[in-house]
Amino acid sequence: MKSLWLLVILAVFSELSQGKVLSNTVQSVTRNILAADLYNAVASDKLTENVVISPAAVQASLALAYYGAKGKTATELENGLRLGSNDPEDVVRRFGEFQQSFTRDNYIRLSNQIYINENLEFKGKFKEVAQRNFDSNIEKADFHPPYNKRTAERISKAVETKTNGKITDILKPQQLDDLTEAVIVNGMSFSAPWQKVFRADKTTKRDFSDGNGRQTYKVDTMWSLNNYKYGEFSNLDATAVELPYQNADYSMLVILPNRSNGLRGLIQNLSGKNLVTLLDAGMTSQKVEVYLPKFSVSFGINLQEPFRKLGITTMFTRDGDFGNMYRMFVSHYINSVNHKAYVEVIEDGNEQPLESGGLKNVFSRTKKFDANHPFVFAIKHKDSIILMGHIANNVYA
């Protein structure tokens, strides 16, 4: 497996160094490594919170920003977000197509918008690319107090409407003031039926540990016995199961640390890795008895600090250069990138489990996957991770 992974990495660097158009496989690899790195940058100090982000939505949103960037600002975005090319036209083409592919399903709602100070102007070509490639609204707004409150509410309401009410209050009034030049708001929600249903009558209250041995919650826990891809990974000190959605292009990977307090170590171990390739190499179809908490998680963050960990800093300072976005003779910057994601996991689905709970023992060698302590999850579209997060203190709201 190590030799295969080395070949993939060499292929990535070869294509990048030669300036070639990236193959679909290489694009998936770079997207998945970015997903793990961005998740680590966001989640490593939020071990007691429920967290979810959409690395795919963030990457697509900032691919558009890259199209408007120049100089050091553009270089940091290209490298930090693994955009895979220094050709802006190639970047917006590839990431525009990627966004269109993973948002095609009706169960995904994405809102991706850029707002600039009302005294500034967008370049016409930038606005055209934003609308054509990313279905992105590019607008001017009044950030000055006392109108900042009204503006924040208007922007948040637009995102809420586009995500069917799932993403709310994405932007706070205190983030806007006389010095604000531009803000990016990016929200994505996901809730879809399973290919193999979790029967609602089998959902029961079960213990869920907080991972620190301090608190145990009684949570609604779903049950299923069916054929799933399953694997045990000594290098992660974890087990994993893949749960397909009704639309077979999507599935959820659930990675459960072997130790109840193993979330921190698992997050660290995933950094810099292509989770999809890593798990695929060690998973096989088996009969698995799955216990999974029912959950909904909504998480929002200003990405300035996580981006700093990825080497992206200049865009947020007066040295930021978005000369290909603004129609101005002096350079301007972006004050904040506000991202919020929502995922709901409930019983809905079509196909029935193999057997009822009373008959499950007729199967020999059935694996048991009991997510009764903090775990990581990732939702993938084909070979690319589009959402990633963890459940640490299960709450279903």
Does residue 238 form part of some domain? yes
165 and 50 share one domain: yes
256-311 pLDDT per residue, tens: 999 999 999 999 999 999 999 999 999 999 999 999 999 999 999 999 999 999 99
99 and 73 share one domain: yes
Two structure tokens written together for 1: 């497996």
> Residues of the chain with pLDDT > 70: what percent?
89
Identify the residue whose tokens are 């350079």.
331
Q: Nearest-5° angle of CA 114, CA 311, CA 14? A: 100
Q: How confident is the model at residue 17 (pLDDT cuts 50, 70, 90)?
A: very low
Q: How confident is the model at residue 4 (pLDDT cuts 50, 70, 90)?
A: very low
275 and 318 share one domain: no
Per residue, the 3-state secondary structure of 201-250, as one string, reads: HHCEEEEEECCCCCCEEEEEEEEEEEEEEEEEECCCCEEEEEEEECCCCE
52 and 152 share one domain: yes
Give the mean pLDDT of 146-151: 97
150: domain CATH number? Answer: 3.30.497.10
Does residue 315 form part of some domain? yes
> Residues of the chain with pLDDT > 90: what percent?
83
Q: How confident is the model at residue 1 (pLDDT cuts 50, 70, 90)?
A: very low
Per-residue pLDDT at 37 exceeds 50: yes
328 and 366 share one domain: no
Does residue 247 form part of some domain? yes
Domains of the chain: total? 2
What pLDDT shows up at residue 25?
84
What pLDDT shows up at residue 24?
78
What pLDDT shows up at residue 328?
74
Distance CA 382, CA 375 (A): 22
Distance of CA 186 to the CA centre of its chain: 11
Give the mean pLDDT of 32-53: 96
Distance CA 115, CA 181 (A): 8
249 and 129 share one domain: no
Does residue 26 form part of some domain? no
Per-residue pLDDT at 18 exceeds 80: no
Does residue 252 form part of some domain? yes
Averaged confidence pLDDT in the chain: 90
213: domain CATH number? Answer: 2.30.39.10
Q: How confident is the model at residue 20 (pLDDT cuts 50, 70, 90)?
A: very low
Does residue 352 form part of some domain? no
Distance CA 370, CA 336 (A): 39
Two structure tokens written together for 86: 């220094």
| 204-209 and 216-233 strand pairing | antiparallel
Q: Residue 369 has what DSSP assignment?
A: E
| 137-141 and 108-117 strand pairing | parallel
170 and 228 share one domain: no
312-366 pLDDT per residue, tens: 999 999 999 999 999 876 778 999 999 999 999 999 876 665 554 444 444 458 9
| 216-233 and 284-293 strand pairing | antiparallel
Q: Can you give the residue range of the structural domain that contains 261?
A: 200-294+360-391
152 and 212 share one domain: no
230 and 267 share one domain: yes
Does residue 2 form part of some domain? no
Per-residue pLDDT at 80 exceeds 60: yes
153-195 pLDDT per residue, tens: 999 999 999 999 999 999 999 999 999 999 999 999 999 999 9
243 and 163 share one domain: no
98 and 156 share one domain: yes
55 and 99 share one domain: yes
364-384 pLDDT per residue, tens: 589 999 999 999 999 999 999
Per-residue pLDDT at 33 exceeds 60: yes
Higher pLDDT, 2 or 322: 322
Does residue 6 form part of some domain? no
331-335: long-range pairs with CB below 8 Å, 24+: 331/70, 332/120, 332/181, 332/182, 333/73, 333/181, 333/182, 334/65, 334/114, 334/181, 334/182, 334/183, 334/184, 335/175, 335/179, 335/180, 335/181, 335/182, 335/183
Q: Are 321 and 73 in contact (CB under 8 A)?
A: yes
Q: Nearest-5° angle of CA 92, CA 97, CA 103? A: 120
Distance CA 99, CA 63 (A): 11
What pLDDT shows up at residue 395?
66
